[in-house]
C-alpha cells in the first residue's frame, strides 16, 4: 500500500505531467492510477478485460507504455 501513496492522482495532472510521469515509471497501479486515468470506476477497472495486467505478488500493475499508448495514441 505504501506504493499507492506515492502515485499522484492522474485526474489532477496536466497532459504533459501525466506523460512525464508515465515515462519515468515502468508500471503503475491498476487501481487507482490506471483506472482513474481511464476514467473507470474501481469495480469496472478490475473486471475490464482490455487492460493487460501484471501480477506482482498480490499487486496488479499496468505497463506505463500501454497506458500512454491507450490514452494518447501515437502522438
| Neighbouring C-beta atoms of residue 41, cutoff 10 Å | 11
Say how far apart CA 38 and CA 48 lie, in whole Å.
11
Please list the pLDDT of the chain residue by residue as tens digits (75 residues).
Answer: 444 458 999 999 999 999 999 999 999 999 999 999 999 999 999 999 999 999 999 999 999 999 999 999 966
DSSP annotation of 5 reads: H
Residue 66's domain comprises 2-72
Q: How many domains does the chain have?
A: 1
Amino acid at each position: 500500500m505504501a506504493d499507492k501513496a506515492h502515485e499522484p492522482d492522474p485526474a489532477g495532472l496536466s497532459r504533459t505531467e501525466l506523460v512525464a510521469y508515465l515515462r519515468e515509471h515502468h508500471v503503475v497501479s491498476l487501481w487507482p492510477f490506471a483506472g482513474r486515468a481511464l476514467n473507470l470506476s474501481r469495480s469496472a477497472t478490475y473486471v475490464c478485460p482490455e487492460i493487460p495486467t501484471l501480477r506482482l505478488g498480490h499487486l496488479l500493475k499496468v505497463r506505463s507504455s500501454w497506458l500512454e499508448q491507450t490514452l494518447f495514441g501515437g502522438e
